[in-house]
Amino acid sequence: MDFALSEEQQLMRTQVRSLARKFDWSYWRELDRTGAYPHAFFNTFAANGWTGAVIPTEYGGSGLGMTEACIILGEICASGAGTTGAAPIHFSMFPPQPIIKYGSEEMKQQYLPKIAKGEMKLAFSVTEPNVGSDTAHLETTAVRDGDEWVINGRKIWCSNAQNADRVLILTRTTPIEQASKRTKGMTLFFAAIDRDAIGIRVIDKMGRHAVDSNELFIDNWRVSHADLVGQEGEGFYHLLDGLNPERIVIAAEAVGIGKAALHRAVQYATERTVFGRPIGKNQGIQFPLAEAYARLEAAELMVFKAAWLYDHGLPCGAEANMAKLLAADAGCDAVDHAVQTHGGFGYAKEFDVERLYREVRLYKIAPVSQQMVLNYLGEHVLGMPRSY
Ligand SMILES: Cc1cc2nc3c(=O)[nH]c(=O)nc-3n(C[C@H](O)[C@H](O)[C@H](O)COP(=O)(O)OP(=O)(O)OC[C@H]3O[C@@H](n4cnc5c(N)ncnc54)[C@H](O)[C@@H]3O)c2cc1C
C-alpha cells in the first residue's frame, strides 16, 4: 500500500496550484456577478496542456489517469475557483471517456486532439425534464434514417451548451417495453450542436453563474451515423464508463472547495478579534473547523482510492459513489462552518465563502443525488432489496 503521490504527481500539483492561483478571488467574484464565461482561465489551462491531461498520447494528450485529473481539479477548486473554474476543465476529462473506450478510430482521431488542445468544448446531456435519477425512462428518441439518425425530445440541465461545440447525448432507440432490459435500447451520440434544430434556454440557477446549464428543445435534429458512440442499444453501459470518472472528479472538486473555504475560515478566525481575543481561540469556532479538516482528508482518501481503482481497470462503482457521497458532505460541511466563522461577513459577497456555499451545494444533488448513492450502496454493495 502506498499513499504517497509520485514525484511527477507532486510536481504537477505544484504547477497547477501556481497556475490556478494566478486567477484571484476577485476574478471569480466578478464572473459570478456578471455571469461571463471563464474564457481566460480555460484558455490558460488549455495553453498549458491541462485540457489534454487524460486524453491518450496517440491523440495529442498526456495520457494521464483519473488520479491526475483529481489532482488538477482538486487544486483548481482549492485555489478558490470553485466549480466555476473546475467545470470548463472537467468537461475535457470525463465526457471523453466513453469516446476513448468505445468511439470509432475515425471519431477519436477527429475529435480527441481538438479536445486535448482546448479547441473543442463539450457538453454532456442525459437528464430530461421528466427523467433525472431514473435514466432508463428517458424520452428523447433517435430514429435511424439511412446514414443519419433523427433526434427529438427535451433535455434539461445540459451544462456548458452555450459554448460547447459538441454534446455527448443519450437517447432511446428501442422503446423500453420492447427492450430486453430497461437499461438496454439506449444509444449514445457525440454530435455537433446544431443550433437551428435545438432551442437552448439558459436556466437561472443558485450558483456557478458563469458556467451555464440549459434546457434543450430538440426538433428533428439530424446527426450522422458516424456520430454514434460504440454499439447501438448499449449507450447506457457505455455511459457508465463516463459516470464513475464524473463522480470521482466531482468528489475531488468538492474536497477542493472545502479546503478553499477552510483556508479562508482559519485566516479569518485568526485575524478577527471579538471580546478582546481572536475568535479562533474559542473551541466553538476551532473544533468545527478542525473536524471539517479531518472529514475532508478522509473523503480525499476515498477519492484517490476510487481514482486508483479506475486507473488500474478495476471495478470502482462502490468507491466512486462513496467518494461522491463523503466528499459532497465534507465539502458542504466545511463551507457551512466557514460561513459561520465569518459571522455576518460570511453572508457578504466580498468575503467569497458565500459563493462557495452556493457552488458546493450542487454536489449533493448532481451528478447523482446523495439518496441515489445510498440506494446504490444499499442494493449493490450491501445486497439489500431494491427500495424503489
Ligand atoms: C447545476 C446543475 C448542472 C447539471 N448539469 C448536468 C449536465 O451537464 N448533464 C446532465 O445530464 N445533467 C445535469 N444535471 C442534472 C443532475 O444530474 C440531476 O439534477 C440529478 O441527477 C438529479 O435528477 P433530478 O434533478 O431529475 O431529480 P429527481 O430524479 O427528480 O429526484 C428528485 C429528488 O428525489 C430523490 N429521489 C428520487 N428517487 C428516489 C429514490 N428512489 N430514493 C430516494 N430518493 C429518491 C432524489 O435523490 C432527489 O433528491 C445538472 C444539475 C444541476 C442542478
- Other Cβ atoms closer than 10 A to 319: 24
Q: All 3 cell numbers of residue 127?
A: 437528464
Cα 368 to ligand 1 centroid, rounded to whole Å: 6
Average pLDDT over residues 244-252: 96
Task: State the average pLDDT over residues 18-31.
Answer: 98
Helix or strand run (H / E) with residue 67: helix 66-76
Alpha-carbon separation of residue 202 from 100, 207, 213 (angstroms): 29, 13, 6
Q: Is 369 in the pocket of ligand 1 (CB under 6 A)?
A: yes
| Segment 322-362, tens digit of pLDDT | 999 999 999 999 999 999 999 999 999 999 999 999 999 99
Spatial neighbors of 3 by CB under 8 A, at least 6 apart, are 301
Q: Residue 132 pLDDT > 90, yes or no?
A: no
pLDDT in tens, 72-126: 999 999 999 999 999 999 999 989 999 999 999 999 999 999 999 999 999 999 9
Q: Whose CA is nearest to atom 3 of ligand 1?
A: 157
- State whether the beta carbon of 362 lies less than 6 angstroms from ligand 1: yes
CA of 367 to the centre of ligand 1 (A): 7
Residue nearest to atom 4 of ligand 1 (CA): 157
Q: Is 1's pLDDT higher than 90?
A: no
- State if residue 17 touches ligand 1 by the CB under 6 angstroms criterion: no
What pLDDT was estimated at residue 250? 98
Ligand 1 atom 49: residue of nearest CA: 369
127 lines ligand 1 (CB under 6 A): yes
Q: Residue 189: which of 113, 123, 115 has the closest Cα?
A: 123
pLDDT value for 241: 81
Q: Which atom of ligand 1 is nearest to the CA of 369?
A: 47
